[in-house]
């Protein structure tokens, strides 16, 4: 038995951190949506009790440091699975970019293994298991557009994102997510209007999304890395309807209604940045 699963990246249409909790996580409110830029996993059932992982990318671990391996090991241990699996992971999502690549790979692995090992787990059960490995994994299991609260693991699905073009640009710097949260001063920054964003999604209003877009982590990453701020400014200059950093960065995305303008933003950014993508919101039926 062999199956293929796609693992789409996500962007944050809004990201707010309300306060720091006693367990040291921030209480979050995020609206996220999956986009048409995906890693691919192939899973092959093995009768032998082993997990094999082959990653088609440089500098990404293919052992138990990889979230895909961890997802397989967790299911094996929790449900005493005696069969094995050989997984090939083909990366297209930029790594350590704020696009949840690793989390989406883990979510795709959980879904695929649920099928291949015939575990018959529900989406809620998979999301609870995923949350043990990473806060963004439950969202990646649901996909589409959703409000994520708690430390990101409590998911409320929302209607699909209205169609538009999305230009992504990832500067070649790395950002430490724990470092960004450590430097965030929740009492001193302007907070995005999450309720406004949820309403805009419910209304299918592209303009409402542009009006309510915001990421509290920009206060940290943009201040520390002027090149991220510059990319955002360039996107707006080239004609983006709005632009925002995703997650803790460093990827910045632009939303653009018109294809001709999106192309202009894409071409313009390629002069500044090595990794630039032109994509659309994820369509489930594809
Ligand atoms: P997030 O948006 O959730 O913060 P990210 O896009 O910033 O995620 P990832 O691409 O998921 O970050 O990877 C961060 C680190 O996790 C990498 O440096 C890598 O070593 C490790 N990692 C573990 N599993 C994977 C995977 N399947 N794909 C990519 N990186 C992985």
Q: How confident is the model at residue 286 (pLDDT cuts 50, 70, 90)?
A: very low
Relative to the CA of 246, which ligand 1 atom is closest? 2
Give the separation between CA 225 and CA 227, rounded to whole angstroms: 5
Give the separation between CA 76 and CA 109, rounded to whole angstroms: 12
Q: Is the beta carbon of 88 within 6 A of some atom in ligand 1?
A: no
Question: Ligand 1: which of 88, 101, 112, 170 to mutate, most ligand atoms within 8 Å of CB?
Answer: 101
Q: Nearest-CA neighbor of 112 among 130, 136, 96?
A: 130
Question: Ligand 1: which of 28, 96, 99, 140 to mutate, most ligand atoms within 8 Å of CB?
Answer: 96
End-to-end Cα, the chain, rounded Å: 22
Distance 155 CA to ligand 1 centre (A): 21
Give the separation between CA 273 and CA 170, rounded to whole angstroms: 7
Relative to the CA of 98, which ligand 1 atom is closest? 2
pTM of this prediction exceeds 0.75:
yes
Query: Which residues are marked as active site?
Result: 10, 136
pLDDT at residue 169, as a whole number? 98
Relative to the CA of 103, which ligand 1 atom is closest? 11
Distance 100 CA to ligand 1 centre (A): 7
Residue-wise pLDDT tens digits, 60-111: 999 999 999 999 999 999 999 999 999 999 999 999 999 999 999 999 999 9
Residue-wise pLDDT tens digits, 170-208: 999 989 999 999 999 999 999 999 999 999 999 999 999
Q: Is the beta carbon of 39 within 6 A of some atom in ligand 1?
A: no
pLDDT at residue 285, as a whole number? 55
CA triple 219-221-225, angle to 5 deg: 125
Q: Nearest-CA neighbor of 43 among 4, 91, 92, 90?
A: 4
Q: Is the beta carbon of 60 within 6 A of some atom in ligand 1?
A: yes
Distance 205 CA to ligand 1 centre (A): 32
Average pLDDT over residues 17-31: 95
Average pLDDT over residues 36-56: 97
* Residue 77 burial (CB count, 10 A): 9
Tell me: pLDDT of 151 over 70: yes
Q: How confident is the model at residue 58 (pLDDT cuts 50, 70, 90)?
A: confident
Please give the C-alpha separations between residue 180 and each of 67, 139, 247, in angstroms, as whole numbers: 22, 21, 10
Tell me: pLDDT of 237 over 60: yes
Q: Is the beta carbon of 171 within 6 A of some atom in ligand 1?
A: no
């Amino acid at each position: 038995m062999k199956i293929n699963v796609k693992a789409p990246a996500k962007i944050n249409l809004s990201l707010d951190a309300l306060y720091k909790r006693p367990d040291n996580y921030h209480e979050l409110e995020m609206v996220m949506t999956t986009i048409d830029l995906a890693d691919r996993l192939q899973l092959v059932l093995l009768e032998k009790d082993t997990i094999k992982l082959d990653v088609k990318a440089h500098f990404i671990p293919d052992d138990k440091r990889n979230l895909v391996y961890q997802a397989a090991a967790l299911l094996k241990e929790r449900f005493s699975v005696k069969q094995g699996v050989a997984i090939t992971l083909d990366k297209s999502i930029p790594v350590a970019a704020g696009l949840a690549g690793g989390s989406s790979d883990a979510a795709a692995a959980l879904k695929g293994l649920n099928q291949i090992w015939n575990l018959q787990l529900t989406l809620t059960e998979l999301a609870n298991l995923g949350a043990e490995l990473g806060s963004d994994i439950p969202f990646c299991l649901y996909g589409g557009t959703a409000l994520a609260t708690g430390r990101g693991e409590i998911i409320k699905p929302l209607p699909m994102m209205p169609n538009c073009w999305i230009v992504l640009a990832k500067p070649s710097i790395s950002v430490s997510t724990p470092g960004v949260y450590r430097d965030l001063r929740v009492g001193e920054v302007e907070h995005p209007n999450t309720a406004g964003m949820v309403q805009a999604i419910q209304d299918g209003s592209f303009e409402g999304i542009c009006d309510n877009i915001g990421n509290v982590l920009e206060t940290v990453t943009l201040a520390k890395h002027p090149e991220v701020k510059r990319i955002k400014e360039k996107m707006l200059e080239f004609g983006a309807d709005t632009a925002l950093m995703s997650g803790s960065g460093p990827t910045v995305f632009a939303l653009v209604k018109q294809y001709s303008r999106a192309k202009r933003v894409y071409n313009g950014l390629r002069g500044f940045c090595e990794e630039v993508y032109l994509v659309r919101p994820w369509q489930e039926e594809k």
